[in-house]
């Protein structure tokens, strides 16, 4: 619909002004977020009306010249009301905190096997790469009913990936990977926004998420002109940057083997144990002396400033693709 332009505003079918106040709920996660929002709204609304009501009642009752009694309330009544009021408010606040916090934590862990899509944000566009190498800009095609996990990073400043209909928002930060995930439940087109002020064209850094039937998505993704997959390109970069010189099994250099490494715990030389996830691999490439693997010398040079974000993603995808049985 809007191709490579930072298409904003995007007009989804059936978009009405009401949508701006309450976007359609189109993910499995949206229900719980809405429930918390409504509970907070009701709680704050009730409090607002109570305070406003008392303000009006007391203004009239104790206006100048009225005959209302102005002495103190009995001591015990004053104390009981005060204690009860604070107890109720404290309980409600803790309840809201616990509810929202637990929901957020539960929503942070993607289910295993989620469809993994890579996103690079830059001023002022979203670049998307599918597992098979299909690419798009300012659009994200995904299948309905399947958990989708986004691994995101930024080339320049902090952006924020925001799809109101999914009730998901996640900062996208240069120099690290952040993740979000969701399970879309409705087919259609939904706004994709940047929710972090990131420069003059921040308001135009948007696009659309297209949720398709699973078969339609499979057909769409197969029909895209594909670059090589991330892992294949990563393999080339792995050789081009000289990584294979030390990390190949045949190498004479004593360097950690990478096959089957991804996701496993790694014993470090200072006694800590790290998990070999995306962030760990990324840090190990950019700051190799920070987390030295037990039994190895800190001889690897830093690749900070040499490797671009997109290349890092590819190299990590390659390392992740190495199965233990593949002796590389």
Interaction pattern, residues 200-229, with ligand CUA; x per rule: CB under 6 A: --x--x------------------------
Q: Does 139 bind ligand CUA (CB under 6 A)?
A: no
| Among the residue ranges 28-36, 133-141, 177-185, 191-199, the one whose residues contact ligand CUA (CB under 6 A) | 191-199
Q: Please pick, from the candidates 116, 179, 196, 278, the single residue that binds ligand CUA as defined by CB under 6 A.
A: 196
Question: Shortest distance, CB of residue 77 to ligand CUA, whole angstroms?
Answer: 54
Helices (H) and strands (E) in the chain, counts: 8, 12
Q: Does 194 bind ligand CUA (CB under 6 A)?
A: yes
Q: CA 107 to CA 315: how far, in whole Å?
A: 28
Taking the least distance from each CB to ligand CUA, the nearer of 25 and 137 is: 137
| Enclosing H/E stretch for 232 | helix 230-240
Site for ligand CUA in 14-43 (CB under 6 A): none
Q: Does 12 bind ligand CUA (CB under 6 A)?
A: no
Interaction pattern, residues 150-189, with ligand CUA; x per rule: CB under 6 A: ---------x------------------------------
* Reduced DSSP (H G I as helix, E B as strand, rest coil) percent helix, strand, coil of the chain, to 5: 40, 20, 40
Q: CA 243 to CA 240: how far, in whole Å?
A: 8
Show the CA angle centred on residue 122, arms to residues 121 and 127, nearest 5°: 50
Measured in degrees and rounded to the nearest 5, phi and psi for residue 10 equal: -100, 130
Q: CA 128 to CA 221: how far, in whole Å?
A: 12
Residues forming contacts to ligand CUA in the complex (CB under 6 A) are: 121, 124, 159, 194, 196-198, 202, 205
């Amino acid at each position: 619909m809007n191709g490579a332009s930072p298409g904003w505003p995007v007009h989804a079918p059936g978009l009405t002004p009401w949508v701006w106040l309450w976007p359609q709920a189109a993910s499995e996660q949206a229900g719980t977020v809405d429930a918390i929002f409504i509970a907070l709204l009701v709680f704050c609304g009730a409090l607002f009306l109570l305070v406003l009501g008392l303000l009006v009642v007391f203004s009239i009752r104790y206006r100048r010249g009225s005959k209302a009694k102005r002495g103190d309330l009995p001591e015990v009544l004053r104390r009981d009301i005060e204690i009860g009021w604070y107890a109720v408010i404290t309980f409600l606040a803790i309840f809201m905190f616990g509810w929202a916090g637990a929901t957020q934590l539960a929503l942070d862990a993607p289910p295993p096997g989620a469809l993994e899509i890579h996103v690079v944000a830059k001023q002022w566009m979203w670049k998307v790469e599918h597992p098979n190498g299909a690419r798009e800009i300012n659009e994200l095609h995904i299948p309905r009913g399947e958990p989708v996990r986004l691994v995101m990073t930024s080339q320049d400043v902090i952006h924020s990936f925001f799809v109101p209909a999914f009730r998901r928002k996640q900062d996208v930060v240069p120099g690290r990977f952040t993740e979000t995930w969701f399970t879309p439940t409705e087919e259609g087109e939904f706004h994709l926004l940047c929710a972090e002020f990131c420069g003059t064209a921040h308001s135009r850094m948007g696009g659309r998420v297209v949720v398709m039937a699973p078969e339609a998505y499979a057909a769409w993704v197969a029909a895209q002109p594909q670059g090589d997959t991330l892992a294949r390109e990563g393999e080339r970069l792995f050789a081009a940057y000289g990584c294979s010189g030390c990390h190949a099994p045949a190498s004479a250099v004593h360097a950690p083997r990478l096959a089957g490494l991804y996701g496993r715990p790694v014993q470090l030389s200072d006694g800590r144990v790290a998990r070999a996830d995306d962030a760990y691999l990324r840090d190990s490439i950019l700051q190799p002396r920070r987390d030295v693997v037990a039994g190895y010398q800190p001889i690897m040079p830093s690749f900070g400033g040499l490797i671009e974000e997109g290349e890092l993603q590819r190299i990590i995808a390659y390392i992740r693709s190495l199965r233990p049985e593949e002796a590389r």
